Chains A and B, each alone.
Chain A
């Protein structure tokens, strides 16, 4: 069963200036969000296969939409992250079923490579709940300039029987990073960490 998608939202946040300093090139963060029906809302199900399959579907759909919104080639993506907000009729494990088993592989295809863990967040929430989607460099989790987060929020979701699923992709790190640590130019990209 493909996901019953009620709504898709794509946001791009472009920062050109921070504290009076020009950010060149501007940093850009895209978030693609799907509002879907939770097939397990209101009951306990030991098996969560439907949500695992939906995770795979949304990894491709939302990853592709975020990259397209940035107008970049997949290989130009810098960092990524994922998150889910489960409506009151569901449980946290439903978010886990979407996010963890199968969402990552198609998302990594959408951004080309992606050796690093896809950082994630989840919570239970209601209409208009915001979630901070964590961001990390896709090839080396320790790149300090790319530790960040971007907010995702849909004003009329999740209803009790829904789940909000967000995938974030950037073409940059933070604006004006200057706290040292591993740099993009030093990435080895083998173990996903450095």
Chain B
């Protein structure tokens, strides 16, 4: 069922945006895997068996992305994920990526939560003190699109979604994909603050609730 046709990685170093040159550039990376959509061209009521099979795909992609970014793991500050489904598929096929894509990056970044509860959607992370890493929901977008479609993948802090200076998005696009019977699954991570962030709000060093939000 899992048939990966192509893997596309992209890493960018942002030094400035017409303001002061950053002492350390913002590093943003994305990885996209182009898979055959086993459900293309028909309505398949039971698509869940694919979700489980995507777990190792996500983990492998998360590790590849981290390697391509070439930064220490503790520098990864934000994440996001997305999917682009080819024309013979439906949006729901892209939704298969929510659990395995999110889980993969959280696992990479040191999440200590209950995987079974996470998959079941019953996870409760209202805890005090930092109970682990990667507590935030992984923000996502998805769409049905033609080859070369662009997707703006949202990015937020891995431990507190409200860290305002790190709200961002990265445009991801695989030239020539997805074909009608393909899906592009995407993971994205960055080292954090927008290069000239200055609109206030919660700073990462002030995260205190460790509830994934603040």
Contacts and interface: CB of A to CB of B under 8 A. Distances in A.
Interface of A: 5-18, 69, 130, 150-151, 153, 155
Nearest to B32: A13
B17 A6 contact: yes
Given A7-B15, A8-B13, A153 B6 contact: no
B10 interface: yes
Given A69-B68, A153-B173, A16 B6 contact: yes
Contact of B6 (A10, A13, A130): A13
B8 interface: yes
A17 B13 contact: no
B8 A11 contact: yes
A13 B8 contact: yes
Interface string B60-95: 000000001000000000000000000000000000
Given A7-B12, A8-B13, 6 more contacts: A6-B16, A7-B14, A9-B12, A12-B7, A16-B5, A17-B4
State the main secondary structure of chain A at its contact with B: strand
A16 B2 CA distance: 13
Nearest to B30: A11
Interface of B: 3-18, 25, 68, 150, 171, 173-175
A178 to B, nearest CB: 18
Contacts of A9: 10-13
Contacts of B16: 6
Contacts of B3: 17
A80 B105 CA distance: 33
B171 A6 contact: no
B12 A14 contact: no
A175 B117 CA distance: 42
Contact of A7 (B9, B13, B68, B171): B13
A140 to B, nearest CB: 26
A8 B15 CA distance: 8
Contacts of A155: 150, 171
Given A7-B12, A7-B15, A9-B12, A14 B7 contact: yes
Nearest to B35: A17
Nearest to B17: A6
Nearest to B25: A8
9 contacts: A7-B13, A10-B12, A11-B10, A12-B10, A13-B7, A14-B8, A16-B4, A16-B6, A153-B173
Contacts of A11: 8-11
B7 A16 contact: yes
Contacts of B12: 7-10
Contacts of A18: 5
B178 to A, nearest CB: 14
